Amino acid sequence: MRIPVFISAMQSLGFVFCVSLFLASVNVVISSSSSKKESTKQRAVFVFGDSLYDPGNNDFLNMSIDFKANFPPYGETFFKYPTGRFSDGRLISDFIAMHVNLSVWKPYLEPGKQQFIHGANFASGGASVLVDSNASWLNLERQLSLFMNVVNTLTQQLGNAEAKKLLTNAVYLFSIGGVDYAWFKVDYPNATESMKLEYVNWVIGNITNVIKEIYKVGGRRFAFQNIGPLGCLPEVRQDYNLSGIQCLEETLALATLHNNALSNVCRKLESQLSGFKYLIFDYYNSLLDRIKNFSKYGFKEGYKACCGSGLYHGINCGIGEYYLCTNPNDYLFWDGYHPTEHAYSQLEKLFWSGNPNVTWPLSMKQLFEFDEPEIGNLADDDLFMHA
């Protein structure tokens, strides 16, 4: 499957080497002086996802730099240097962490001893739900395995009772699945509607299995960012030579099938699993509305990316000759696949505060503020109910 990330020609630059050493040796702890911190219950947060949430895990994988974002101009707006994030600055997952008084995320794979009492971020650019044996990024199955390593570490450090309490009160944040569908049309050009539905059910089935595995060790609070409008992204529109406000309808339809199936399975799990709470943030429609009505949200450009080459600046951000805008805040998209920090900031506010049309059946703030279950009343067997 072709993965929508960007290829760098900057491997030889000493700058990249120095930045990699810097990030590997320094714990980056950044708080925002402009972000008003709220009084919210402290909980660990565990993040699973793809490039939309990756804080730089791919930098520490044995993979080609083709699937990394550790070269300029990535990171230029907030960090002033590339961190491995596929944007000009912070991501939705970073803003959520900062909302609960945590720092922006460190990559789970960053060398050095880490404490996991506040959670961990396993997201990896290019990550899919379905397993690709030839891929070196962290697919969802591998991210689950890393999470289970953290569970073992917490149990050893805190003891069974405290580890169980931490895991039961934690929030589990997901943004994954887009990679499985982004190039489906290319990989399966003759797919029938029944084949598409079967494929969606396969993806959702794998996500469901991961949810149940997390539930077994205590997970109760799950937050899902659904799949965005893949057919309207600058890279996709450029690849298919779409003009005006045209989007690739077949890819939009696949994303909608997935998002509907995700909502259905979450409702089903809520009825099956004792104590299971969830929310879904409608990233699809929130981003699509900004693409179609970008000026309404303060952007000057909603179709072209800030960084890249081609008709919509959809490819090669940071590679060879490419366009780079002077003010990323004017743009909805940073590169051909990923929004700018400014766009992420707007979207996270919807995720956090929500309304029934955008985030349901709870907002992230409500998910954090739910009272904890009585851990003492949870027998060990209860953690494995229905899973």
- pLDDT tens for residues 194-232? 999 999 999 999 999 999 999 999 999 999 999 999 999
Give me the catalytic one of 258, 313, 338, 342: 338
Active site residue 88: no
For residue 287, pLDDT beyond 60: yes
Cα-based distances in Å from 336 to 1, 75, 222, 331, 333: 18, 15, 29, 12, 7
Instruction: Report the chain's mean pLDDT, rounded to a whole number.
Output: 87
What pLDDT score does 113 carry? 82
- 371, burial (CB in 10 Å: exposed 0-12, middle 13-18, buried 19+): exposed
Closest CA to 261 of 204, 206, 207, 195: 204
Give me the catalytic one of 335, 342, 345, 363: 335
Give the DSSP per-residue string, 277-327: EEEEE-HHHHHHHHHHTGGGGT-SEEEEESEEBSTT--B-TTSSS-EE-S-
Give me the catalytic one of 51, 124, 175, 363: 51
What pLDDT score does 62 carry? 86
pLDDT band for 40, please (50, 70, 90 cuts): low
What pLDDT score does 137 carry? 87
CATH superfamily placement of domain 35-384:
SGNH hydrolase (3.40.50.1110)
- pLDDT tens for residues 70-88? 999 999 999 999 999 999 9
> Domain limits of the chain?
35-384
Active site residue 39: no
Active site residue 313: no
Query: According to the per-residue pLDDT averaged within each range, which of 24-38, 54-68, 293-307 is highest?
Result: 293-307
What pLDDT score does 36 carry? 42
